[in-house]
Amino acid sequence: MDLTHGTSLKKKQIAIYSDDTSVRAAVILALGKRVAEDLPEHEVHEFATGAALRQYIDRKSQEGTFKIDLFILDGEATPEGGLGIARQLKDEVFNCPPVLAITGRKEDAWLAAWSKVEASVIHPIDPFTLARIVADLLRTGSLTSA
């Protein structure tokens, strides 16, 4: 295994779903090239529709090349919200990677819990909070909420 400062050189794969380009841009900006020094750089896969995300997952699964380390889904996306997609991923994807949901308000935490996500943040996106939670999820896949 190649290591640089204790970090594997293999990039982490992050899928971001939102119909809003400004939300996807804010997430990408918050993540930078690397969310923490002890983690490798990451590669982002952007999806503007739920259909495109599902098609990507299905294609990669059939090819045997499905490797996403984290899903970040916008619960406020339309016409298909990220919370419904999160629930579907958790129910249908074997060994589903961690999912982080972006909700519209703190009171939507119960919806995030229903969706079986490991973590949630609220709009507007706080880049420091998002980066910290993403780093935690990439390290351990553990539950963290903000």
Going through the chain in order, the beta strands assigned E by DSSP cover 3-4, 7-8, 12-17, 42-47, 70-74, 99-103, 119-122, 144-145
Whole-number pLDDT of residue 2:
36
**Structure confidence by residue, pLDDT tens digits, 52-88:** 999 999 988 888 888 999 999 999 999 999 999 999 9
- CATH code of the domain made up of 3-140: 3.40.50.2300
Delimit the domains of the chain by residue range.
3-140
pTM of the model: 0.89
**Helix, coil or strand: residue 13:** strand
**Who has greater pLDDT, 10 or 30?**
30
The shares of helix, strand and coil residues in the chain, as percent rounded to the nearest 5, are 40, 20, 40
The two structure tokens encoding residue 139: 């390290």
